[in-house]
Amino acid sequence: MTPKAQVPPFAVISGAQVHRMLSGNEKHTVELVESAYRAHGAAQTVNPPSYFLRFPDRPNSRIIALPASIGGETQVDGLKWISSFPDNVAAGIPRASAVLLLNDQATGYPLACLESSIISAARTAASAALAADRLTRARPERPRRVGFIGTGLIARYIHTYLTGTGWTFDEVGIHDLSVEHANGYRDYLARSGAHGSVTVHERAEDLIRSSDLVVFATVAATPHVTDPDWFAHKPVVLNVSLRDLAPEVLLASANFLDDIEHCLKADTSPHLTEQATGNRDFIDGTLYDVLTGRVAVPTDRPVVFSPFGLGVLDLAVGKYVYDKVRDGGELAVVDDFFYEVERYGRGNVSGERP
């Protein structure tokens, strides 16, 4: 006889709990993300295209659904539901908000709903830190001058994950279209005890030319960096926000993506480059290719990493958080969240409401 499947309890995990489980665990989170990339490269994941909900009356806002499934050691399905409302920033609240649903692979029932803006920022930063490490290993030394273009939550988390995985910097450059935000990020770095001198640059060109590791973490919708000569010193570029760089810059660089099919859509910089050239010859490989040694990273030109952001990364980090909260006896279970769980009802045969 087939064993009776059990409906799992449904829990809600707060942002405070997520923060507690991830804070100070940057190295392990990078390991989780690396394992997820390896599972994805080994065809142990399902990661369909993201779905964009857009609004005619709010054209600069969107909500994105990222369904995914990951096998290997993680074994969970789920959905990330993340909004981007840039006008929030002027109101003093974060641009992005998100939740993550985890589904049991045996029954399909949701296990938990997690606050996910922190998970999303952590997996993005972990991906960036992993790429920065792997894409610079062939160089004589690690970059010592880092520059951030865009100074929001993602920039903050990337700096935390770089320093949390052993990076040290002699110089930190900052550029943002908002002087207030640039100064706020500078003050944050001072409070966090960041090493090295901190410089706010008025021009993106000055920041790029003075940085060996460049991080783009903006909300730019179209390319605004167009001159390949700014990158003549061959920096490594983490193109996290995906739309800052013109095709001319990518064509003068070595290009690595997290997933080719995902990146070549939605008018990202790689997508625009494909449209401009009619081919994908400018792509040198994926991060998985680098992790497995299939592709060597050149040192004779700039190196650009463009991550679209895979839902399986959120699942890997989210499942880790869920397991830690559960094992610590801190799951906030919603009793009777699933009410109709018996094929013929809950024992009430009179037709009356229980």
Concatenated DSSP letters of 118-152: HHHHHHHHHHHHHHHHHHTTTSSS---EEEEES-S
CB-based contact 81:98 (threshold 8 Å): yes
pLDDT at 346: 61
Quick check: 350 pLDDT over 50?
Answer: no
SS3 content of the chain, % helix, strand, coil (to 5): 35, 25, 40
CB-based contact 343:44 (threshold 8 Å): no
Closest by CA position to 284, among listed 150, 131, 89, 72: 131
**Which pTM does this prediction carry?**
0.92
pLDDT tens column, 203-262: 999 999 999 999 999 989 899 999 999 999 999 999 999 999 999 999 999 999 999 999
pLDDT at 216: 98
Q: Mapping DSSP to helix (H, G, I), strand (E, B) and coil, where does residue 4 land?
A: coil
